[in-house]
Structure 1
């Protein structure tokens, strides 16, 4: 099962979720959402201690490395509370990183992960357990089966694809507009030169000329 919570630290409220055990953590690792585009996911974990993996879904405007401090506190408190050892301690460090930075291979134990880039890891210190935050989050808790995760991720990916199509169509329309404007400007210039030639400005039949003593024609500027 996956446990979902709502954090009112942001407006609109953020969705936090956690697996029931390490086996369900594997499903969360597998079906996480990339943070590069649209709504992504950041993952929280107690540093150097066993703990649950707490995930928070980001809005399109949020970046994993500049989350509101109140939201970080909610996620970190929930992470600490879901660590058997960490929950008993003060001054616990919680680390977080985008889902896309998680590294998983067959040599790792169930629920265990590493990281592609250590620079994409941030830390926050939780000095003590804050029951007020945990009680607030607990009141919002709902439960859903892990079997929902593939469909949720596919919905997210479909939204990504649709956004890419919209961006490509917008770019195509903009390029067509620029090309049309350039074409129209060229046609206006060519039309202007044509009118000038018709009025005699181009040295045609309408230009007055006289013969000089050597027999050459030259323009009469009188």
Structure 2
């Protein structure tokens, strides 16, 4: 009925000025500040403007929210795995570095049995005269 009428009031206001309470009917809204409301009366409707406005409407009822959520979760899991992998590699490199430093400071390799020689059966000649 409203799209066929002439002399229609158009109301312009910011969305933050809209007031909706639970006791209002479906589709009914109020205004928090009536001074922020601008009303214009349209004497005769112009179909070419209405047609241009209707072409700009985007109705997308075929949104698959579950698939979008699963795709987002997959991306987040991959990022988490990458972060965990780099963290593990960093910790492994740090452990290897500490182990190498510990080996370098250790005296275990100094006293290896393969390199030791005995001095018990040595030549003990005191032939200095």
Which interval holds the TM-score relative to the shorter structure? 0.3 to 0.5
Q: Normalized against structure 1, the TM-score is what?
A: 0.30
Query: Which is richer in strand?
Result: 1
If you compute each CA radius of gyration, which structure gives the higher value, 1 or 2? 2
TM-score, with normalisation over the residues of structure 2?
A: 0.46
